[in-house]
Amino acid sequence: MEFLNTGSALLAHGLRPMESVLFLAGIVLTLALASRVRNTAMRRGLPLLFAVPFYALYRVLLTEPAAEVWLYRLESPFLPPLLLLVLPAIYLPRTRIYRLFLVFPVLILAALAAHVVARLLSIPDGTEFVGLPVAPGMLALGVTAGLVLAQPALSLSAFRRVVRVTLFGVLMFGGFLLRQNATDYQSMTARRAVARQDIISFAETTPVLRDDRRLSYLPAAPCRFSADGGYVQGCSMELLQRLLQLDFRKVADGSVEETALLAMTLAALVALLVLLFAGGRIWCGWACPLATAGAALDRLRRLLHLPHVKPSQTLQRTGFLTGLSLGSFGLLLAAAIPRLDAQGRFLGCKIPLYPFCKFCPGQQVCPVASSGPGAYPPLPGREWMGGFFLVAALVAGLFFVASFSAFRSLFCRVCPMGMIGGIFNRGGLLALRKTTQRCNSCGICREVCPMNISSVAAEQGRDEVSSFDCLYCLECVARCPRKDCLRLEFAGHTVVRSDWPKPPPSSAASRSAVS
């Protein structure tokens, strides 16, 4: 067991520079630059020319206490899997080299199993613990390794469903069964016992990746109100509200606590912007729990052979303006928090913390999803409020179920978090491209698009057809009946392309997914 613990510690020590968002930013920018270099040897060598000096410099900076504090704030356990597994899966050709690469995720899964066994054996007898004790970094590597191994055997659409369900389970419920150790688990159960008595006030929850020195976010909508069942801190809007709710007057006066909160928030914002630049709204289409819940309801509707409502352009614009207005209003209210008077009022009105969250469906859906209707117990002496709130939450939940079932990707049309990601759909590293000479104007891409985007089918001039609303779900690529008509590129490298007629089952896996 001591050997396993030592091995895990050495692995974490070696991977630490790769946890830095600065390393990810440098690598993706280097790849973007390399895509414009014609010399093959130079194109392949540029990432190494960046990675080796960065790694050495990072190890040196970690020895300086002041630098280490900032570097830690810019680290995330989600980044090594992107660098070690996702990027090679994208860039390696589907030859013998790729088959050799697949040995690496197998070894990672073996290391994950050994890591979990070592932590289980270290739990004293009689200690309460339910689930699997696993460090977040090892969990992220293991989940990504499993997905990389599964990808060649799945069609593009099936692979996306597997990714979405997996991330939904980790982000929404990972905090219940995937705690870091027995102490972490017992702290979670103690917090939940208190939080359940204060859930109407929506007290601060503590997801797995929350600590006192940094905040961890993904550019999707994993809600912060998952009753300690969540894995990351929250969504992009939660981070922006957290930033605006800071009292900058205290920062100017030298408040150590407020300055530390500002530093943590800014570091998390930098990490979020890098991930958005790298992926745009693909986080919405592949990782967002609320979008996954909406897709599940849409799939249920189709199984029941019920029609869906196809919104008009006017209705879509109305949804966009509604989401933009609600998001802006919520952020303006958050900016008023530092100016509340002693009674908690601003201009005579009470404003709650995280005001946007009060009219976001995630605040109604996520507590019930993570704890059931018991997430809303009545407070002593205010039972009427608890009952009223429970009924209101259930009615709102039924409304969301009906709406999400009737409209495909309804929440994605009004989601401010998605709008932030949409800004990076043009100018970021991901791009949906079209070879117009191969298009026969069949309109299938328009019919299968959950966001009802028509510009992909209509475009007959420009090469890039990425749009603000695109979730990069790639249904258009998977269903396109013209070979090589549509393709997704990352930093100029083709990740996946339409491949019609479809190959026979024996060879479908090698050509229908990432290439």
Q: What is the pLDDT of residues 71-106, one digit of tens each?
A: 999 999 889 999 999 999 998 877 788 889 999 999
Q: In which residue ranges of the chain is CATH 3.30.70 found? A: 425-512
- For residue 211, pLDDT over 60 is answered with yes
Q: How confident is the model at residue 500 (pLDDT cuts 50, 70, 90)?
A: low
- For residue 448, pLDDT over 50 is answered with yes
48 or 118: which carries more pLDDT confidence?
Answer: 118
Q: How confident is the model at residue 2 (pLDDT cuts 50, 70, 90)?
A: low
Q: How far apart are CA 102 and CA 89, in angstroms?
A: 9
Where do we find the tokens 């392949």? 44
CA dihedral sign, ordered 271, 277, 278, 283: positive
pLDDT, residue 392, reads 61
| Per-residue buried b or exposed e for 397-413, using 16+ beta carbons within 10 Å of the residue's own CB | beebeeebbbbbbbbbb
Mean pLDDT of 437-452: 90
353 in Cβ contact with 245 (< 8 Å): yes
pLDDT, residue 468, reads 92
CA dihedral sign, ordered 381, 383, 384, 390: positive
| Per-residue buried b or exposed e for 72-94, using 16+ beta carbons within 10 Å of the residue's own CB | bbbbbbbbbbbbbbebbbbbeee
Q: How far apart are CA 186 and CA 182, in angstroms?
A: 6
CA dihedral sign, ordered 261, 12, 209, 289: positive
- Average pLDDT over the chain reads 82
388 or 364: which carries more pLDDT confidence?
Answer: 364
Q: How confident is the model at residue 414 (pLDDT cuts 50, 70, 90)?
A: confident
| First and final C-alpha spacing in the chain | 40
- For residue 357, pLDDT over 70 is answered with yes
pLDDT, residue 510, reads 39
Q: How far apart are CA 96 and CA 103, in angstroms?
A: 12
Mode of pairing for the β-strands spanning 345-346 and 493-497: unpaired
Flag the least confident range among 33-47, 104-118, 267-281.
33-47
pLDDT, residue 387, reads 56
Q: Is the peptide bond before 352 cis (omega within 30 degrees of 0)?
A: no
> Quick one: CATH architecture of 425-512?
2-Layer Sandwich (3.30)
Q: How far apart are CA 96 and CA 406, in angstroms?
A: 46
Q: How far apart are CA 229 and CA 211, in angstroms?
A: 15
Mean pLDDT of 447-455: 90
Q: How far apart are CA 482 and CA 479, in angstroms?
A: 9
pLDDT, residue 377, reads 53
Mean pLDDT of 112-132: 89
pLDDT, residue 503, reads 43
Highest mean pLDDT among 61-65, 305-309, 371-375, 400-404: 61-65
Residues 6+ apart with CB under 8 A from 251: 258, 259, 262
Q: How confident is the model at residue 220 (pLDDT cuts 50, 70, 90)?
A: confident
